[in-house]
Amino acid sequence: MSLIIAVAGHIDHGKTALVRALTGIETDRLPEERRRGISIEAGFAHWRRAHASDLPPISFVDVPGHERYISNMVAGIQGARAALLVIACDDGVMPQTCEHAEILRLMGIRQWVVALTKSDRIDSDQLSERTASIQEWLQSEAIEAEVIPVSAHTGEGIAELASRIQLLAEVSLGEYREIADQVPGEATRLCVDRSFIAAGDGLVVTGVLVSGVLRVGDAVRVSPAGLAARVRGLQRAGQSLLEVQYGSRCAVNLAGQGIDRQSVGRGDWIVSSELHRPICIIDVQMIEAGSLDGRRVRCAWEHTSLGRSGADHPTRRPAEVQVHAGTARLSARIAAIPVPAAAERPDHTWIRLRLARPVSAVVGDRWILRSSDGTRTLGMAEVVWPVDATDGLRGAAHVTLLQGLNRTHPGAWLSSALARLPGGMAPARFAAAWGLTLDAATACWKSAGAVLLQYDGRGVLFDQNRLDDVRVRLGGAVHAWHQQHPESLGIDWAELMGKLDRLDTRRYASIALSSLQAAGELMRHGDRIFRPDHVPAPSAEDEIFRLRVLPLLTERRSRSVHELADMLAMPLGKVRLALDRLALQGYAVSITPQRYLAIAQIEALAAAAVSMAESGDLRAGDFSRATGIGRNLGIDVLEFFDRIRLTRRLRDRRIVIDNEALQRVLRVAPGPVTEMA
């Protein structure tokens, strides 16, 4: 672990000179910077302290102060956890002093120190006056910071500032560790600010390792492009290492197909493979830029034509903004997510960002939003829902999902999401949303009361409590149906769904039904759901039907449901239902959806099959001939026997595997466990 301190402030206030005085390092590296005497890119300086301490490495990032380079400034402060705000004593607070302070505060920096530079330029009376006025300004900005007068020219105050920074570092590291300890198993994420070709080594990228560990030999991916690469070498502060921990700024030598300066650069992320899931649509919570020049300025935000949108103020046209996400700058359209006025918090707004290109996003990432012309900071967007979709939740349900999300811990977030999502969430999606390794994500969902089930051929996490609840209610609804409709086979699936709450969507109900079927608590025949102990009471109508249809089902030649409907002059659907009831009452059995046979008939056929298998070979042709039922029906019957596991097919013959199978299934053959339409 190491600590990065952002050195920010207005242009010409002495940031670069101060870093030089503290570290001896010149951060203006570009020829243009040296010629013009201004910083354009962020410059990095590792602090080699005179006194050895237990503290991990500390480095400064000296960011450009000119307003044209704000985007470089935002890229530069990625990963910084403390701020050294530089204010020249002859100039005082200037526009970029405010803007930088605002951006740092929005990014969540809590540890600050203010260097009042060029103290050699004014006398001590003026100095105390300046110090007082700056302290007043800090107070109005709600920034807690000590103000230390320094001169890079005379060296005055530099030692005091250095010891103050050490103290600051200790506090920030404590905070940092506390946060890091709460989220175990973070996957690797490095945001790239620069790439270059190093002679003999190939491509090198520099950037901040925001989470996880990077080791020489690691297989990684360049996101969002998705290129695979391998870590060939690592450096921190000019020193070659085998491993770098999160929080560090480092240089990484990458090798791989297509890995070059064109394919990897500022704005990209180097991530472990499971984290490569770039997305374009992200829900965020926006915190507005609150004060510039000490005034509360809401207009910056209102200028976006979006403004605040309560339920009674319909959203206006989505606005275009610039998003600084990590070191990337991209344009996005924003749409407010309307929150009912009562639930609105004055400083928070829910926003859906539609980014011009996909990015890597993890819950809690803080992005700076600036006006599309790049002149105003609108606020900070904290990533809340990096899942690219809300599973069909819209309007109030969407807001309820976002408002209900508990962001204190990945497990809590997952439970709060699963409680409201209609269709659960894939474990890999959850891991990527929180930047966790798959192992850590698994530990999290297990302790969060989620359950992993196969659904549509892939694993999906569901809320165990909700599932249990739906199971109980499904069982209750079926029971109630039987009481009210004793003559009916069971309740129709669609009707049963209608008895559940809106929240208990089809997916939960389907899964609950499957598990109830597997446990033998409910059965299903076609679209009818019923309890295994329920036998429909035959009505007078059933009796008449039975007398008419049974002779037809006992003939050698079997009739399809369609033929029966024609012969009995009854609607097809009615015939099917009546046949199903007959099956449940123990008179008939369905061998295919189209064919029903009388019990006596199927029992005779089973006996014939068993005896043929015992006395020699059971082959489809011989079976059809011997029983006289014709080839097609013969095959249907044998396949039915296979299905109920009376027989098993071995190439062209069959063997008997369970003599009792027919007796067991004579009541009803349960349908396959799949989602029902």
Binding site for Mg ion (CB under 5 A): 15-16, 39
**Closest CB to ligand GDP among residues 43, 427:** 43
CA 590/CA 593 separation, integer angstroms: 6
CA 539/CA 498 separation, integer angstroms: 27
Tokens, residue 228: 């695979």
CB of 167 to ligand GDP, least distance (A): 22
CA distances from 87 to 56, 126, 131, 294 (A): 27, 15, 10, 16
Q: Which helix (H) or strand (E) holds 110?
A: none
CB of 16 to ligand GDP, least distance (A): 3
Q: Which of 4, 13, 363, 415 binds ligand GDP (CB under 6 A)?
A: 13
CA 567/CA 569 separation, integer angstroms: 6
**Closest CB to ligand GDP among residues 120, 260:** 120
CB of 153 to ligand GDP, least distance (A): 4
**Closest CB to ligand GDP among residues 97, 377:** 97
**Closest CB to ligand GDP among residues 37, 314:** 37
590 binds ligand GDP (CB under 6 A): no
CB of 83 to ligand GDP, least distance (A): 14
CB of 402 to Mg ion, least distance (A): 41
Q: Which of 71, 111, 117, 416 binds ligand GDP (CB under 6 A)?
A: 117
CB of 16 to Mg ion, least distance (A): 3
Site for ligand GDP in 120-139 (CB under 6 A): 120-121
Residue 292 three-state SS: strand
**Closest CB to ligand GDP among residues 7, 319:** 7
657 with 645: CB under 8 angstroms?
Answer: yes
Closest to 530 (Cα-Cα) out of 501, 493, 579: 493
Q: What is the dihedral of CA 523, 526, 528, 529, to 10 degrees?
A: 20
100 binds ligand GDP (CB under 6 A): no
496 binds ligand GDP (CB under 6 A): no
The dihedrals phi and psi of 356, each to the nearest 5 degrees, come to -65, -30
CA 61/CA 56 separation, integer angstroms: 16
Q: Which helix (H) or strand (E) holds 46?
A: strand 43-46
Q: Where are the alpha helices (DSSP H) in 238-380?
A: 299-302
**Closest CB to ligand GDP among residues 16, 403:** 16
CA distances from 269 to 139, 274, 395 (A): 37, 13, 33
Site for ligand GDP in 27-66 (CB under 6 A): 37-39, 65
DSSP codes, 612-642: HHHHS-EEHHHHHHHHTS-HHHHHHHHHHHH
User: Residue 120: which of Mg ion, ligand GDP, none does it interact with, CB under 5 to 8 A by kind?
Assistant: ligand GDP
Q: Which helix (H) or strand (E) holds 174?
A: helix 158-182
275 with 353: CB under 8 angstroms?
Answer: no
**Closest CB to ligand GDP among residues 118, 576:** 118
C-alpha 426: how far from its chain's center? 8
Query: Which residues, 6+ apart, have CB-to-CB distance to 200 below 8 Å?
Result: none
CB of 22 to Mg ion, least distance (A): 14
Q: Which of 2, 4, 6, 16 binds ligand GDP (CB under 6 A)?
A: 16
Q: Which of 23, 151, 285, 627 binds ligand GDP (CB under 6 A)?
A: 151
152 binds ligand GDP (CB under 6 A): yes
CB of 9 to ligand GDP, least distance (A): 6
Mapping DSSP onto H, E and C, the string for 298-326 reads CHHHHCCCCCCCECCCCCCCCEEEEEEEC
**Closest CB to Mg ion among residues 153, 230:** 153
CB of 185 to ligand GDP, least distance (A): 40
Q: What does the DSSP 8-state code read for residue 425? A: B
**Closest CB to ligand GDP among residues 38, 550:** 38
User: Residue 117: which of ligand GDP, Mg ion, none does it interact with, CB under 5 to 8 A by kind?
Assistant: ligand GDP
User: Residue 576: which of Mg ion, ligand GDP, none does it interact with, CB under 5 to 8 A by kind?
Assistant: none
Cβ-based neighbour number of residue 272 at 10 Å: 22
CB of 43 to ligand GDP, least distance (A): 9
Closest to 192 (Cα-Cα) out of 152, 213, 222, 234: 222
Residue 575 three-state SS: helix
12 binds ligand GDP (CB under 6 A): yes
17 binds ligand GDP (CB under 6 A): yes
96 binds ligand GDP (CB under 6 A): no
CB of 245 to ligand GDP, least distance (A): 30
Residue 96 three-state SS: helix
**Closest CB to ligand GDP among residues 11, 85:** 11
Please report, as ranges, the residues that interact with ligand GDP according to CB under 6 A. Answer: 11-17, 37-39, 65, 117-118, 120-121, 151-153
